[in-house]
Amino acid sequence: MGWLENIVFRDREIENERLELTDKGSLYFVGPNLTLTNCTLVLKVPARNLALQGVRFVNCTFEVKQELKKKQQWVLASLKGCRFKGNLSDCDFGHWPGYAPGWEHGSIEDCDFSEARLDGCRIMGCDPSTVRFPKWPCFTILDPVRNSRALRSATWPGRFGRIVIDDLANYPAGTRALTFYAPFQAKHFDITPEALQAVLQQFDCILF
């Protein structure tokens, strides 16, 4: 594999622009000292090609054209009034003290994931009541660490309880919400989404 070109956005304010981060031969550095307002960002690169740090997104729209996997660096960015579209898995958003240098910039508020598909995505250290989560077949567990004991009391289908629910108590204390995509979880654990939903509806701390 050849050298990747570095494309850097930093030390400025950008408003009302459409930024296409789609070249798989490039590394995109978004931040630091960067504010984007009312911008549309088109993302079509692997998570490893996208570096976020010390950036503020205000009223921006993210169009995720290629599933974004294992992108914890969102916790190094401030997101306010933003909308996400597309598929994201194992991504973390919000405020996570000590996670990595630049953690103090991380926050999420008034953001909308209703047009996104999330699986294994977490809201860290911020108020999830300001966030619009995707509806079923996605489902969101609020305060999973605090509610882990109650959730373990239910009979979950297949190995979902033993693998996923039993592990909630081990999540970082600042985990405020956790969203899964039921069809993916059902396929992985050889169960049905309907069997999963039958247990989910027993709990007020689960949104779907």
Alpha-carbon dihedral angle through residues 65, 67, 72, 74, given to the nearest 10 degrees: 20
Say if residue 2's pLDDT is above 90: no
Integer Rg of the chain from CA: 18
Over residues 106-156, the pLDDT tens digits come to 999 999 999 999 999 999 999 999 999 999 999 999 999 999 999 999 999
pTM of the predicted protein model: 0.95
Neighbours of 34 (CB within 10 A): 21
SS3 content of the chain, % helix, strand, coil (to 5): 20, 40, 35
**Mapping DSSP to helix (H, G, I), strand (E, B) and coil, where does residue 165 land?**
helix
- Please give the C-alpha separations between residue 43 and each of 1, 5, 46, in angstroms, as whole numbers: 21, 16, 9
Q: What pLDDT sits at residue 63?
A: 99
What is the phi/psi pair of residue 175, to 5°? -70, 110
Q: What pLDDT sits at residue 3?
A: 74
Q: What pLDDT sits at residue 4?
A: 82
Strands annotated E in the chain: 5-9, 12-15, 18-21, 26-30, 34-37, 40-43, 50-52, 55-58, 61-69, 77-80, 83-89, 92-94, 107-109, 112-119, 121-124, 138-142, 175-181, 206-207
Over residues 169-184, the pLDDT tens digits come to 999 999 999 999 999 9
Neighbours of 196 (CB within 10 A): 23
Q: What pLDDT sits at residue 1?
A: 45
Say if residue 27's pLDDT is above 70: yes
How many whole angstroms separate alpha carbon 34 and alpha carbon 78? 10
CA 110 to chain centre: 14
Q: Is the dihedral of CA 25, 84, 68, 70 positive or negative?
A: positive
Q: Are 188 and 159 in contact (CB under 8 A)?
A: no
Over residues 64-110, the pLDDT tens digits come to 999 999 988 999 999 999 999 999 999 999 999 999 999 999 999 99
Over residues 43-63, the pLDDT tens digits come to 999 999 999 999 999 999 999
Q: Is the dihedral of CA 18, 83, 106, 182 positive or negative?
A: negative
Mean pLDDT score, 199-203: 98
